[in-house]
Amino acid sequence: SQTIHQWPATLVQPVGSPLSLECTVEGTSNPNLYWYRQAAGRGLQLLFYSVGIGQISSEVPQNLSASRPQDRQFILSSKKLLLSDSGFYLCAWTILGTSGRAYENEQFFGPGTRLTVL
Amino acid sequence: QKEVEQDPGPLSVPEGAIVSLNCTYSNSAFQYFMWYRQYSRKGPELLMYTYSSGNKEDGRFTAQVDKSSKYISLFIRDSQPSDSATYLCAMSRIKAAGNKLTFGGGTRVLVKP
């Protein structure tokens, strides 16, 4: 079975400090990977997605960046955090099916990292 | 106007009642529809998945899709306090770039014992 891990679970960082959040997936190969941010009481905002190693698509311009150094590893980074970067960060993956297969779009989420920037 | 609209709630019901949730959307290209449940401080978990129009039932959960009205629903029968959570709808086009999903803002549900 497939599992997804995120760490750390919680993080408190000062403004201007760097950030590195890691996500790994087990039990599948060549998944699509996604980073979302969820502000308190709000919906999910897609930040980045990746369809393969080294392939990153950015959805929202900001001071965050993402990298995929290995097939099942996805990293979210920042050189200098802002107060507005506080939120709940979620990593998700989806399996790739052949064209038209229903489960192609299902996304499965990790446990999340709660980031507080002070 | 957002592509997917969802009433934020909270929706408060007594235990045993039917919970009725819905989302409206504007993009007629959406073909895949999902409902996620998210407990506080946890990642969302997939509850129901439907393709195109129609109904789908899984235990106490029923998902309905009305593409002509651009309206989807989730019904929870015999609600339990453990059903208290935020419910997110999500949808996608066929062959969407990166298989991306578009989410509603979520509806918070409270089931009171």
Task: Tell if the CB–CB gap between A43 and B100 is shorter than 8 Å.
Answer: no
Beta bridge partner(s), residue A91: A35
Q: Tell me: pLDDT of A42 over 90.
A: no
Task: Tell if the CB–CB gap between B44 and A43 is shorter than 8 Å.
Answer: no
**Per-residue model confidence as pLDDT tens digits over A47-73:** 999 999 999 999 886 789 999 999 999
Tell me which residue in A43, A57, A100 faces B98 most closely, judged by beta carbons. A57
Q: Tell me: pLDDT of A94 over 80.
A: yes
Model pLDDT, residue A112: 96
**Per-residue model confidence as pLDDT tens digits over B57-111:** 999 999 999 999 999 999 999 999 999 999 999 999 877 777 789 999 999 999 9
Residue at token pair 């959805």: A59
Answer yes or no: are the C-beta atoms of B90 and B103 closer than 8 Å: yes
Residue partners of B51: CB distance under 8 A and separation at least 6:
A102, B31, B32, B33
Q: Which two tokens stand for residue B107?
A: 């509806």
